[in-house]
Chains A and B, each alone.
Chain A
Amino acid sequence: MTTSPLTGEEPPAIVIDGLNKWYGDYHALRNVELSVKRGERIVICGPSGSGKSTLIRCINALETHQEGAITVNGTQLSSNFKAIDEIRRDVGMVFQGFNLFPHLTILENCMLAPMRVRRQPLAEAEERARHFLARVRIPEQADKYPGQLSGGQQQRVAIARALCMSPSVMLFDEPTSALDAEMVKEVLDIMVDLAEEGMTMLCVTHEMGFARQVADRVIFMDAGQIVEMNTPAEFFGNPRHERTRTFLAQVLH
């Protein structure tokens, strides 16, 4: 948050150092190193089972890791509940399956965490919820229940819900994979808006058009490792690793 007096550079938003994770005996993340600058937009791609979800879920401690350190905005993740809660307040997450709360209205979905976690008064929480619902272009759905919305609308609510907590980092885990083709764009448009406003973003996605348009860096993962990382122009124009080339050949046709 503070600018370093020596270098004049802001500290990174996320630092992942020597991260290793096992599911039982399966080595799901192998020595992952990654530093994300404030305002940086990163797209992570890779074949199914390569550990993309696992990696971003480690960042807000939805998964626990065995080795290595993760630091978000200067706070290091530990088993300390306080540190975990602090990081989760500051890191928004959007899931493939939306995960809206079906028993609450759209507005309540967006107001619950700000009121309970940030202790916002009802009026303020509601005003902010309506503001962000307008930003994801569905202000008129506020009083409906999630089950009454289309997939694309639900995912936009999920984004608004996360934004209501004023996160400094947003994690996206394949936010458009569960959507019909015609709804993908409405969600991507919102994500592009966010990127243009300078949000720090880590997106697991196979939407290569989105990666080309907004990403500062594209990361390719395979078998629990970061295999290649580059600017989108280099990554798509001149992939260096053999695995990256086969992967890109498959997704770009």
Chain B
Amino acid sequence: MMPVEAFLRQDAEAVRPAPALVKRGWRKLLFGDVASSLLTVLISLCALWAVPRVLDWAVFDAVWRGNGQACFDAGACWAFLGAKWPLILFGIYPPDQQWRPIVVVLAFLAITLWSLPERNWTRATATGWLVVIVSSLLLMGGDTLGLQPVPTGDWGGLPITILLTVLSLTIGFPFGILLALGRRSEDRMMRWLSVGFIEIVRGLPLLTMLFIAAILLPLMLPDGVTFDNLSRALVALTFYSAAYLAEVIRGGLQSLPKGQEEAARALGLGRLATLRFIILPQAIHAVIPPLTNTVVVVVKNTSLVLVVGLFDLLSAGRSALTDPDWPSPYIETYILVGFVYFVICFGISRYSLWLEHKLSAGVQR
């Protein structure tokens, strides 16, 4: 027999607080080992070389005000942005009417900010969006409001980017849900139609779809029915959003355990109520990160509408560069345009992180 060492506790071990976490200091971070030391030195050298040059160009040699003459043979021509920002942001929209696109941009900014907190996700907010979208279209066009009419071909810049993004996503989202459900449907016809649509749209470059919308659509439609360029671009972008959103949402639907639907149906909830209250909220929550990704891609995709003759933010910026009185300050213009895109996309991405965190707060699985 093995000897057994008996044990019986006499007094309890003390309960102690956990030892404090040791934070890694800067020195450790930058020079902790050979690799990070090398990296630190390398990056510092690059910075030493680049920073003075960039500063010279962007600050010390830059032209801050004045006209085009001052900008030749100088550093950054910020004066150009000061003079041309309306053209860059609003394209060839009639200069004396530019308060209209400004109002539109501000209205979208306001409703977006209003919609951010969860407590404002109400029916009234949804109606608010509808009102903003419709009145923006009317205000930009002008004729129904008795203002100077501006054809959609003359709209440009930021309002085009915003309108195309918002419209293609709001129309594409329900459409994408239908496609995702269709793809999982037991009805073979529905399944084939959905798969067909999704695969065709995903298989075509967006540029091709925009061309098709611009050239083929008018040919296929009966005489007398015309679409302006904005609607054509919108059709292509909406198809694109719907197909990509559908695949993302399908992933979310697949991630749900079967028991969720069964429990809802067993309680007597119908198919629609089950979708609306049980399936979709969970499926969409599960795919917020890829959903955000798709939204950001759609925002940036609007820059392709140039091919159907629309001037979004990027192309409006480029058209500003053609003024012969100024040198062509490409970099400065692209910095401004890039900055606007960045603010929009970075904002969306931060918001989605917050949202994901917020929605997961209670739901720990």
Contacts and interface: CB of A to CB of B under 8 A. Distances in A.
Binding partners A and B: yes
Interface of A: 60, 62, 81, 85, 88-89, 91-93, 95, 97, 99-103, 105, 112-113, 116-117, 144-145, 147-148, 158, 161-162, 165
Given A85-B268, A116-B269, A145-B363, 16 more contacts: A62-B265, A88-B265, A88-B266, A93-B263, A95-B262, A97-B259, A99-B257, A99-B259, A99-B262, A113-B264, A113-B269, A116-B277, A144-B362, A147-B362, A147-B363, A148-B364
A50 to B, nearest CB: 20
B358 to A, nearest CB: 12
Contacts of B278: 101
B267 interface: yes
Interface of B: 257, 259-260, 262-270, 273, 277-278, 281-282, 285, 359, 362-365
Nearest to B273: A116
Contacts of B263: 93, 95, 99-101, 158
Contacts of A93: 263, 266
Contacts of A81: 270
A29 to B, nearest CB: 18
A165 B267 CA distance: 7
A113 B268 contact: yes
Contacts of A88: 265-268
B144 to A, nearest CB: 41
Nearest to A108: B277
Nearest to B282: A103
Contact of A147 (B260, B273, B364): B364
Given A116-B277, A147-B363, A99 B260 contact: yes
A91 B268 CA distance: 9
A15 B56 CA distance: 89
Contacts of A117: 267-270, 273
A95 B269 contact: no
A116 B277 CA distance: 10
Nearest to A116: B273
Contact of B266 (A62, A100, A105, A148): A62
A251 to B, nearest CB: 25
Contacts of A145: 362-364
8 contacts: A81-B270, A91-B266, A92-B267, A95-B262, A99-B263, A101-B264, A117-B270, A158-B263
